[in-house]
Structure 1
């Protein structure tokens, strides 16, 4: 017969799996909401303040490189645009200009990290428009010319990605960024101050801090009605309860935080063969896949649903051995076997040690269908070489993706993937180690 302690331990682990996305969203909000508004006014009274500006749009104006270290596994293809919304005080209008054919997406995540909505070339076209973003409790008139976009929670994260073909293409991407604006329907300024309640560097280790942050997130962003009873039960483990943790709850929650973190950090098997796996495979909602939702929140927060983008990862070769830049590898897309995408594809290199882009003499961090030096073989196949050393034939240097001389992994991004990818019928090229001459 199960003891009370063992049942409490199990309940605490379930509570952490369910609520970790809420914690991570709170942490990302603290990290990415600006301290100063567009006029330079600080939200708080000093660097230690947890006050931030919310309902404001911020932009990254350069393609990310090794010097940018805010986000793990960043892409090197698009500019990022970021906005956190607080819809508890009423709806907001989001204006987006005509993109003039440029690929872009504004992905909307609710407080539980479900990628519930998309504005962009795939879903809403190229001509732009105005959207009324409102929370679950709002009832009112939609302004003329606006399209309603209901949001499951009052806290929403908008992560925008705008394609830029290298530095020479930045001006056009900047123009699109500059036209993305938030405003209130009554004409007042959208930007307001919020207490983020935490600092960006915090990690979910302290049970009391974790319980405090999650309690607030649950209160401000209630779960769906059919999950309310499940969440109420977490109060026995100190999650969602208005009372401080008891010593028994504190011990159980501390153990649960460590247990779930180790569980979510464990490597995944190469489910697609050839070294490849697909760690994020959702569309608009995780539903009741709470463990998967927690894994994505911990490791890939902000990922889009697979109809917009698929992220295929490989940190091992086709034989299951870890990829290491001291060796050379190749992958060959056969003729007529390139990725099938409606927007673009790219292969990006990362250091395993910190999940960041790796500096290299070519300042080349990705290769893809827009890379000018990438060339196919006479038979139509495309061979890409990975490693710290370049190809033996200098003529193949355009097909070289430089690796650091240490363990690495690669990400194959497919934006607006075709049906062969979505239906799992596409064959991904195996990553094979090149035999070194003796």
Structure 2
């Protein structure tokens, strides 16, 4: 870029540009990390071990419930299997077929390349019966095939991230069968899978060094060209060209002044995003992230979610409530027994299910334990309710002395821990933040 726009190069603009574009970088990085290199039939998209070709328009299904041995993501759930597909709609629409899930809860969330969760297919929105959906990009014009519902996608690059409920290990074969019947095809029934250059390596990380800043601009500029912003935001993005960011800036090296401004902005923004501001709900509980159907112009919030919770569902589909301290504000530690009492009639209010999952605070992973129990919830066959209908859960590294309470024991590490209360299809009391979450209390050994 020339220096004629030097007067418009300001730290404030650089910060705004980073907040706006950071989700694009994070989505590109996530695509490189999770888009499959091999087809199910075994063929590699790229013969080079360090190549960046990947297969798009193909599902990749996890087949096991996550446990302590799975360490790819932090605070993993132990309730669902994931079904993941990266879509490229630039060559035309795709037809998605889903089977009848026999009333089993599932959701296929659709995220545009700016991380907006713009649509859901599944139990809450489209039902559990079989269905056909035509997914198309913003520039496509045409008619959906007979019997298919058209879903307009804001960008040509889309991340489809699904979750299917599993009721324990014995239920896995049934869920595998459902996963295998979720199909992507071309509208004429042809094979949609093709090799696509994701342009990144899975191990690339965001940083503020000059080299990382230049790499950031390369990734973001390509993403802006392939996935233009909404028309209402075009003027905002056009202003970033003074900093070397924009579709028209692709292939144009940053000058030293641009590198300096973007480096300072990245350092500032990354420090800000490392300090999440959860919403306090009382009793030591907090809501780390609130996601709606679209972030709109809330670019700082969008960047926060992209950096720390990318792929999280919107609140109407799921809420994730966290507690890491007891009723007195003391950090939870598995060496001291604790209990959580849901009074009669005051259990979580959900349209699908709820679960409480235990995590080691040191690494944010599930906790290895002798009974292989990582979560408890409304589907847990071991739960025993009190005579008055209340539910008392026991949290600690050592099992309760009373053997009758073992079914309500959620094993903790012998050290600091936190728990996550997941609410799938939460009720109005949760969405409106009027639900009274019970405090975690010290308990007798």
User: Where on the TM-score scale, by shorter chain, does this alignment land: which range?
Assistant: over 0.9
Q: Is the 8 A contact 2:279 2:288 kept in 1?
A: no
Written as runs of structure 1 = structure 2, the 5 A alignment for 1:408-419 is 408-419=417-428
Q: How well do the aligned residues superpose, as a CA RMSD in angstroms?
A: 1.8
Q: Is the 8 A contact 1:53 1:191 kept in 2?
A: yes
Relative to structure 1, the CA distance from residue 328 to residue 17 in structure 2 (aligned partners, 3 Å threshold; closer, same or farther) is farther
Written as runs of structure 1 = structure 2, the 5 A alignment for 1:64-143 is 64-143=66-145
Instruction: Determine whether 1:287 maps to 2:289.
Output: no
CA distance in 1, matches of 2:278, 2:141: 47
Written as runs of structure 1 = structure 2, the 5 A alignment for 1:308-323 is 308-323=317-332
Match of 2:35 in 1: 33
Q: Is the 8 A contact 1:273 1:318 kept in 2?
A: no
Q: Secondary structure in 2 aligned to 1:306?
A: coil
Match of 1:258 in 2: 267
Instruction: Determine whether 1:230 maps to 2:236.
Output: yes
Cα drift, residue 5 of structure 1 = 9.7
Instruction: Determine whether 1:213 maps to 2:219.
Output: yes
Instruction: Determine whether 1:347 maps to 2:356.
Output: yes
Per-residue CA shift, 1:73-111, capped at 9, x if unaligned?
211001110111000000000011111111111111111
Cα drift, residue 7 of structure 1 = 6.6
Q: Is the 8 A contact 2:361 2:418 kept in 1?
A: yes
CA distance in 1, matches of 2:295, 2:329: 29
Relative to structure 1, the CA distance from residue 6 to residue 316 in structure 2 (aligned partners, 3 Å threshold; closer, same or farther) is farther
Per-residue CA shift, 1:230-260, capped at 9, x if unaligned?
1111222332233212222212222222221
Q: Secondary structure in 2 aligned to 1:88?
A: coil
CA distance in 1, matches of 2:110, 2:257: 38
CA distance in 2, matches of 1:318, 1:264: 28
Match of 1:364 in 2: 373
Match of 1:9 in 2: 11
Cα drift, residue 311 of structure 1 = 1.0
Written as runs of structure 1 = structure 2, the 5 A alignment for 1:132-281 is 132-205=134-207, 206-240=212-246, 241-242=249-250, 243-269=252-278, 271-281=280-290
Match of 2:3 in 1: none
Cα drift, residue 320 of structure 1 = 3.0
Moved more, 264-273 or 98-107: 264-273
Match of 1:18 in 2: 20
Cα drift, residue 425 of structure 1 = 1.6
Structure 2 residue runs of 5 or longer lacking an equivalent are: 1-5
CA distance in 1, matches of 2:305, 2:195: 29
Cα drift, residue 186 of structure 1 = 3.0
Cα drift, residue 267 of structure 1 = 4.3
Q: Is the 8 A contact 2:276 2:288 kept in 1?
A: no
Moved more, 297-306 or 265-274: 265-274
- TM-score, normalization by structure 2: 0.93
Relative to structure 1, the CA distance from residue 354 to residue 14 in structure 2 (aligned partners, 3 Å threshold; closer, same or farther) is farther
- TM-score, normalization by structure 1: 0.95
CA distance in 2, matches of 1:354, 1:6: 43
CA distance in 1, matches of 2:186, 2:263: 42
CA distance in 2, matches of 1:214, 1:322: 40
Aligned pairs, how many?
Answer: 433
Match of 1:374 in 2: 383
Q: Is the 8 A contact 1:268 1:277 kept in 2?
A: no
Q: Is the 8 A contact 1:384 1:399 kept in 2?
A: yes
Cα drift, residue 368 of structure 1 = 0.3
Per-residue CA shift, 1:329-355, capped at 9, x if unaligned?
222111100001111000111222332
Moved more, 240-249 or 131-140: 240-249
Q: Secondary structure in 1 aligned to 2:285?
A: coil
Per-residue CA shift, 1:208-250, capped at 9, x if unaligned?
1111111111111111111111111122233223321222221
Match of 1:325 in 2: 334
